[in-house]
Amino acid sequence: MRKADRKDVLKNRIVIQSLIFLSVIFVFLGIVLWRNTSRGSTAYVERDDFIFGTLVRVVVASEKQDPETIIDAMIQEMKRIESKFHPYHNGSSVIFKLNHSSKAMTVDEETAFLISKSLYYSKLTAGAFDPALGRLIKLWGFDSPDTEKKLPKPEEIQEALKASGYRNVKVNVKEVLLENGVWLDLGGIAKGYAVDQAVRIAKRMDENATGFVDAGGDIAIIGPKFGQYPWKIGIRDPRGGPQDIVGVVYLSEGAIATSGDYERYFEVEGIRYHHILDPQTGYPARKAISATVIAEKLVDADALATAAFVLGWHKIVEGFVGIGAQAMIIDAEGNTFKTRGFSAYEKE
């Protein structure tokens, strides 16, 4: 009987161990299937690169195309636009050629479009956004991360102001003329345009692709997270560290851009001099320390964030609502102002 009992016990142990093992397998599969069902079956691929003088992160998921292939095409497009519209150190760029031409130049359709778009926002914001501040930007040393930053003399600023201003830029279809020695610098709009074009390429390769592009804090959405959830985006505290935020917005589509005096600056005798210049004075704008704009396209959010920073809340920001944009401004005293519809993006 003892031998028989031992066999039965052994058999029972094997059965019990098998059941436990199968239970673990099914529990594990249940977790995986739940995760796949709730988050989608495609993994996100991320890549970082340095474009437009800032860190650019591209995040893409696609069931139709290899995400790596999509990211390759997106980054290639952004670098193409960066090279084409770099105003200072690239002798082959169209903007460099325009800035060093004393005559009208015939440009391609894309260049004419982007310059015209810049002038549109200049007129809309009463010159707060100005693409013709190249000489002032170079004078301050904000033309490149490698250029020495300096506090110019008042007479140098006045001289550069004479050779600045969007009214000196004339566009006739594809013919562009820069008057009074002005230099174009499309940095306030070219990055947004490049990101929008990269998103367009991603959607062309897979209309159901999802993800986002983060170009130094300016973000355009490719598609909702896992195809159904909004992306959570923190708005940086302009007087905190890189990880400190003053608010959160949720976007399933569209774009968001922030202009702040903490991005590129230097200090002299305790005074902060940043790269967002007031076209009226030639000095850094002082009516805000941060301006965030949500719009359908990043090219629009980019330009309007710059204008909002220069103008401050009390002048025109509520007017952004009429053109489909929402804004949040933090003024020089640390007060926060928001357009009427901004709060809708603060709800998940």
Q: What is the 3-state secondary structure (H, E, C) of 153-171?
A: CHHHHHHHHHCCCHHHEEE
Measured CA to CA, the distance from residue 226 to residue 314 in angstroms comes to 39
Residue 32 located in a structural domain = yes
Residue 246 lies in a domain: yes
Phi and psi dihedrals of 4, rounded to 5? -65, -40
Beta-carbon contacts of residue 9 (< 8 Å; ≥ 6 apart): none
* pLDDT of the chain, 348 residues: tens digit per residue: 333 444 443 344 434 344 333 333 333 322 222 223 234 456 999 999 999 989 999 999 999 999 999 999 999 999 999 999 999 877 789 999 999 999 999 999 999 999 999 999 999 999 999 999 999 999 999 998 888 999 999 999 999 999 999 999 999 999 999 999 999 999 999 999 999 999 999 999 999 999 999 999 999 999 999 999 999 999 999 999 888 999 999 999 999 999 999 989 999 999 999 999 999 999 999 999 999 999 999 999 999 999 999 999 876 666 777 788 999 999 999 999 999 899 999 998
Domain that residue 331 falls in: 230-348
**Residue 301 in tokens:** 């959010």
User: Does residue 182 sit in helix, strand or coil?
Assistant: coil
The CA-CA-CA angle for residues 250, 212, 239, to 5°, reads 60
Residue type, 160: A
Question: Residue 90 falls within a domain, yes or no?
Answer: no
Residue 224: partners with Cβ closer than 8 Å, 6 or more residues away: 210, 230, 231, 252, 253
Distances (CA, A) of 62 to 69, 130, 169, 204, 318: 10, 38, 42, 12, 38
DSSP string across 300-315: HHHHHHHHHHHH-HHH
Is residue 287 within 8 Å of residue 332, measured between CB atoms? yes
**Which tokens in the block code for residue 306?**
């710059």
- Is residue 26 a part of any domain in this protein? yes
- Give the span between the Cα atoms of 100 and 182, in whole angstroms: 9
Three-state DSSP class for residue 294: strand
- Decide if 101 is inside a domain: no
Whether residue 60 is contained in a domain is answered as no
Interatomic CA distance for residues 263 and 187, integer angstroms:
14
- The answer to whether position 282 is within a domain reads yes
Please give the DSSP secondary-structure letter assigned to residue 152.
Answer: -
Residue 223, H or E segment: strand 218-223
pTM attached to this predicted model: 0.86
CATH code, domain carrying 328? 3.10.520.10
Residue 172 forms part of a structural domain? no
Report angle CA 290, 281, 150 to the nearest 5 degrees: 75
Q: How many domains does the chain divide into?
A: 2
CA–chain centroid gap for 330, Å, is 19
Torsion, Cα 225 80 299 348, to 10 degrees, reads: 10
